[in-house]
Amino acid sequence: KAGVTQTPRYLIKTRGQQVTLSCSPISGHRSVSWYQQTPGQGLQFLFEYFSETQRNKGNFPGRFSGRQFSNSRSEMNVSTLELGDSALYLCASSGAKGGSYNSPLHFGNGTRLTVT
Amino acid sequence: GQQVMQIPQYQHVQEGEDFTTYCNSSTTLSNIQWYKQRPGGHPVFLIQLVKSGEVKKQKRLTFQFGEAKKNSSLHITATQTTDVGTYFCAGPMNNNAGNMLTFGGGTRLMVKP
């Protein structure tokens, strides 16, 4: 089975721009979670989608949004980028039918976003 | 808010020495998961513990879940250079909007050959 695929791997944007990151989960997985990883804050939960519905959202401003398509692929969008948004954005899929918090997460390689 | 804390933050060991990382939760957990992230890589699932007092082994790695289900530990016997990486524990927590898997800050293990 192919793993979780995230594109692009690297991205450089300037302040004020917006960015869209893409994630394709493991085939058959319907739950997709997004995390932000920074050296200072560690792994911070952004949101989780299951069957095209946002199931939970972390403590991030409204500039961070996401969606999930009928094929379970997910995108996250960050608008009006700030320098502090520079981070590794990780997508993870889970085969859980219930909350992904009770099942192993399978992470992609991440998208490293640099905001200048 | 609810938190998962890990200590130590960093650990340098000589190859062959043992290593332990500890994880503490502010609340009782239904399960705890452990992940390993190699430098430049992504977190990879290692194991999930569910029962109070549970102990599981994977070769040189021993995982424990506390009796009160609020703490956990990962012990590596006779470390090797392939053990280098950051080890994260994670547990389900509620943030008023629902449950999510909350990660500890991680313990970065460095092994000197």
Kindly report, residue by residue over B38-48, the tens digit of the pLDDT. Answer: 999 999 999 99
pLDDT at A98: 66
Looking at beta carbons, which residues of chain A come within 8 Å of B45?
104-106
Is 70 exceeded by the pLDDT of residue B49?
Answer: yes
Strand partners, B13: B111
Is 90 exceeded by the pLDDT of residue B91?
Answer: yes
Which segments within A51-86 are labelled E, that is strand? 53-57, 64-68, 74-78
Looking at beta carbons, which residues of chain A come within 8 Å of B96?
none
- The pair of structure tokens assigned to B85 is 């990486």
Tens of pLDDT along chain A (116 residues) come to 789 999 999 999 999 999 999 999 999 999 999 999 998 888 999 999 999 999 899 999 999 999 999 999 999 999 999 999 999 999 999 987 766 677 899 999 999 999 99
From the list A99, A101, A105, which residue is nearest B45 (CB)? A105
Is 90 exceeded by the pLDDT of residue B1?
Answer: no
Least CA distance to A55: which residue of chain B? Answer: B98
pLDDT band at B98 (very low <50, low <70, confident <90, very high): confident
Is B88 near chain A, with CB under 8 Å?
Answer: yes
Query: Between vectors from CA B29 to CA B28 and to CA B35, what angle results, nearest 5°?
Result: 140
Question: How far, in Å, CA of B111 to CA of A106, rounded?
Answer: 26
Radius of gyration (C-alpha) of chain B in whole angstroms: 14
- In three-state secondary structure terms, B45 is strand
Looking at beta carbons, which residues of chain A come within 8 Å of B98?
55-57, 99
pLDDT at B100: 87
pLDDT at A103: 86
User: Which 39-58 residues of chain B touch chain A by CB within 8 A?
Assistant: 41-45, 48
What is the pairing mode between strands A10-13 and A111-115? parallel
pLDDT at A40: 82
Is A93 near chain B, with CB under 8 Å?
Answer: no
Most confident of A85-99, B17-31, B97-111: B17-31
Q: How near does any CA of chain B get to the CA of A88, in Å?
A: 10
Average pLDDT over residues B16-28: 96
Looking at beta carbons, which residues of chain A come within 8 Å of B99?
56, 99, 101
Nearest to B17 by CA among B95, B108, B80: B80
Is B30 near chain A, with CB under 8 Å?
Answer: yes
pLDDT at A29: 93
Looking at beta carbons, which residues of chain B come within 8 Å of A50?
none
